[in-house]
Amino acid sequence: MTAQADGSGTVGVRKIGASGIRSRQRRVLLVCIPVTIVFAIGALALFLLLPTDGGDKVLRAVTDGILLGGVYALIALGVVVVFKSSKVFNLAHGGVLMFLAYFAWWLLSSVGLPLWATLTIVALASVAIALTIDRFIMRRMIGQSGLTTFFLTLVLGFSVIQGIAILLFTGKPQIMPQIFPSGSLSFGSLDFSFTWVSASVVATVMFLAFVAYFRFTRGGLAMRAVSESHVISQSVGISVKTVSAVSWIVGCLSAAVAGILLGSMFAVTPTMGSFAIVRALPVLLLGGIESIPGAFLGAFIIGITESLTGTFVDPHVSGFRELLPYILMVVILMLRPHGLFGLREIRRI
């Protein structure tokens, strides 16, 4: 459903029919299939051209990138959902992620709670943070420019929330207690940590669960309507404030889970929030800031390219692994300014 205005300034409503939806799905496939083919051919060429040990390195780098991409997708999901419902680019996501990761570590390690109790308390804390941000901060910003909310979430995440986390938990790097089975999973000559495999599976399942909610439930339908137009959604009885609150809850829950997973894969550190945002930014701009499928595919593209670069280029050009995702993002944005899956916005003046 979209809004149109005629010459007199009257706003009308045009419904997007099934043919329009099918057309959008075809466009998504037309982008997704070539990108997947290009990456598959590139990985296969590297695997065949390199010697045996080089082929194993390629396979290991690609699989590590896929595992990392699942977690990146969950990080990006929280930002996309909030942006779709409120047009707020949520830079506080990283600070919330870091705070909840430290909170989970404290409950598991210092308090000694079992995992199920820790997850329950962290989930409740996520909901409380989300409702506080939405009700007492973001609603007061309604009508403000996107730049204002951008800087507000930046300060909120990287100054306020991150500062509180450092004050409460001392800000020292910590090791997350074991929450996944120890050991490794072997495929031929390759060994994969159960922690990495489990973290990627959990992140991917959560991402797909939200996609199912978004596509097949009444709440998801309301979120899709609000992402198209607040005015039209309100005119048909949808509570925009409720949808916004739910979006912030989804964002903070995804931050909590992603923070626990990153802490299990690496460590719980004061910089993990900035790490998450720095990784989410190319993922979002690559896939399209309003596109959930774009966030999913973009996360795996960034994860694989980062892992391949770290394996083959970083030994010769130190730090290029951190730079390549942004180079790839700039190239794609030059070709498709709205991202691989983003919607082109047309403003009638």
Domain boundaries, the chain: 20-335
- Which residue type is seen at 97? L
233 vs 20, more confident: 233
Residue 8 has pLDDT above 90, yes or no: no
Range 227-232 average pLDDT: 82
- Least confident among 7-16, 104-113, 249-258, 332-341: 7-16
Q: What are phi and psi of 236, to 5 degrees?
A: -100, 15
326 vs 38, more confident: 326
Give the total residue count for the chain. Answer: 349
Query: What span, in angstroms and rounded, lies between the C-alpha atoms of 89 and 152?
Result: 10
CB 118 within 8 A of CB 109: no
Listed ranges 19-28, 141-150, 283-292, 298-307; the one with the highest mean pLDDT: 298-307
Q: Sign of dihedral through CA atoms 307, 91, 273, 203? A: negative
Range 191-203 average pLDDT: 91
333 vs 103, more confident: 103
CB 254 within 8 A of CB 78: yes
Q: What are phi and psi of 316, to 5 degrees?
A: -105, -35
Q: What is the pLDDT of residue 250?
A: 93
Range 164-176 average pLDDT: 92
Residue 1 has pLDDT above 50, yes or no: no
- Which residue type is seen at 285? L
227 vs 158, more confident: 158
Question: Which residues 6+ apart lie within 8 Å of 140 measured at CB?
Answer: none
85 vs 168, more confident: 168
CB 346 within 8 A of CB 319: no
Range 112-131 average pLDDT: 96
What is the CATH architecture of 20-335?
Orthogonal Bundle (1.10)
Tell me which H or E stretch contains 50: none
The rounded percent of the chain whose pLDDT value lies above 90 is 39
Confidence of residue 15 (pLDDT cuts 50, 70, 90): very low
Q: What is the pLDDT of residue 44?
A: 58
pLDDT for 43-78, tens place per residue?
556 555 555 555 678 788 888 999 999 999 999 999
Q: Is 138 helix (H, G, I), strand (E, B) or coil?
A: helix
Q: What is the pLDDT of residue 11?
A: 40
Burial of 315 (0-12, 13-18, 19+ CB in 10 A): exposed
102 vs 231, more confident: 102
User: Could you identify the residue written with the tokens 């719980």?
Assistant: 268
User: Could you identify the residue written with the tokens 């899956």?
Assistant: 341
Q: What is the pLDDT of residue 310?
A: 85
Q: What is the pLDDT of residue 18?
A: 42
